[in-house]
Amino acid sequence: MSRQKHPSVLLPGAVLFDMDGLLVETEDLWYRAERSIMQDIGAEWGPEHQGALVGGPLEFAVAYMIEVSGQDHDPGVMLDRLMVEMERLLRTEPVHWRPGAKALVGALESHGVPMALVSASWRSLIEAVHDAVLHELGHEVFVTTVAGDEVERTKPFPDPYLLAAERIGVDPRTCVVLEDSHTGSRAGVASGALVVAVPSFTAIEPAEGLLVVESLELLTPELLGEWSQAWSNTG
């Protein structure tokens, strides 16, 4: 699909997508991977534990899992186990788009809005998600992708979103960040972009520079452009 600008329509400078829980439904797979590892070491793991990890870096997840276990485990070994198990699930279990995600990506592309994929997940997991569902788009629609293991500081720091905006060549203030977690929303707000959160696991309250909607199905390029322009004009 070719990208054509719509000069008479307000559009954001770029839209920066989170991946897990926002673009694709993977939170259940993360829970299964975490619980499998915790069961193997004889520790309890429930939804209340998963809620503390949504949107965060993998290193934090591993440290938290070790803390919950009450045991002494090597973080590097635990991280390797989590990565292997999660990639296995992504490549063997169904991975689904979040409601409205595929349609929104297509609409933004048709309006000529540049997009980036910005995830706290590591590159190998982004590639597994690409092979599972993103390839359905038929071509690369993202100008750039930023993985959690490719930046010195990942979410909740703004670095990944700032890097994506820099690569696209736009002012972060003109961008819209789409997120589903507190951690990712904090990163987006800190970057200066307008954040539109679509909570997938835990509730998120609106704040300055942070709007909350129930579903990506409610969003259009024009609406994001209207919100983005209003936000950038406040600076």
Pull the structure tokens for residue 10: 């307000």
The answer to whether the CB of 161 falls within 8 A of the CB of 154 is no
Pull the structure tokens for residue 147: 């993985």
Question: Cα separation of 196 and 217, whole Å?
Answer: 13
Question: Cα separation of 132 and 29, whole Å?
Answer: 13
Cα distance from N-terminal residue to C-terminal residue, the chain: 34
| 3-state secondary structure (DSSP) of residue 211 | strand
Name which of 77, 166, 71, 76 is nearest 118 in CA terms: 166
Nearest-10 crossing angle of helices 27-40, 58-69: 40
E-assigned strand segments in 119-216: 144-146, 175-179, 194-197, 210-212
Pull the structure tokens for residue 158: 């703004």
Side-chain-side CA neighbours of residue 197 (13 Å): 25
Q: Which residues carry out catalysis? A: 18
Angle at 234 between CA 230 and CA 235, to 5 degrees: 130
β-pair partners for 16: 116, 177
